[in-house]
Amino acid sequence: KQKIEQSFSIKYYDEQLEILRDVIEGTNLSDARRLRPNALYALALTPELLSKAQSEKVLAKIESELLTPYGMRTLWRRDPEYSARYEGDQAQRDRVYHQGTAWAFLIGPYADAVINVRGERASEDLWQYLQTLLKHAVTDSTGHIAEVFDAEAPQRPGGCYAQAWSDAEFLRI
């Protein structure tokens, strides 16, 4: 445990991009320069692995590059494999599932990360953020939150129209 804590930021924090690398070894190292929402889990579950300044920078980058009104994009826009729309036949949708499509359930780890990095003072901002998802569930849908949304406006819902983990994370926060 101590070794992980001592080496985590050295291995995973990309100072130039101000992101957490998604991978550090393996066959597809282009993933190392991609911002994905997986970084939220480090901030949400073990914020002590980064300095306060590093955590702030990573969270700010996640918010500017991945956060949408309906959840988190699964890949940032600057990536050549980024896809703004979750559409087409099953094979087309499967190809873009993790290439930009916004997942609503990721608001849970996002909220945990925000509280860990910014403290309880951020809870009002989180509540304001959640209003769009609440409107979707109450007004635009069946009383539930969809599984995924397009990565870009108008962010049409997709996948399951009523996804348990989307609802659960909204209610948990």
Cα distance between residue 18 and residue 166, in whole Å: 28
Cα distance between residue 155 and residue 64, in whole Å: 17
Q: Who wins on pLDDT, 120 or 90?
A: 90
pLDDT at 137 over 90: no
Cα distance between residue 83 and residue 173, in whole Å: 28
Across 21-46, average pLDDT: 85
Cα distance between residue 28 and residue 111, in whole Å: 30
Q: List the beta strands (DSSP E) in the chain.
A: 13-14, 19-20, 67-68, 71-73, 102-103, 148-149, 157-158
Would you state the pLDDT for residue 29?
64
First to last CA, the chain: 29
Would you state the pLDDT for residue 5?
84
Residues 6+ apart with CB under 8 A from 161: 141, 142, 144, 146, 147
Other C-beta atoms lying within 10 Å of the C-beta of residue 98: 15
pLDDT at 17 over 90: yes
What value does the mean pLDDT of the chain take? 92
SS3 labels along 57-81: HHHHHHHHHCEECCEEECCCCCCCC
**pTM, rounded to two decimals:** 0.92
Q: Who wins on pLDDT, 31 or 112?
A: 112
Across 116-136, average pLDDT: 89
Across 137-165, average pLDDT: 90
56-76 per-position pLDDT tens digit? 999 999 999 999 999 999 999
Cα distance between residue 157 and residue 86, in whole Å: 9
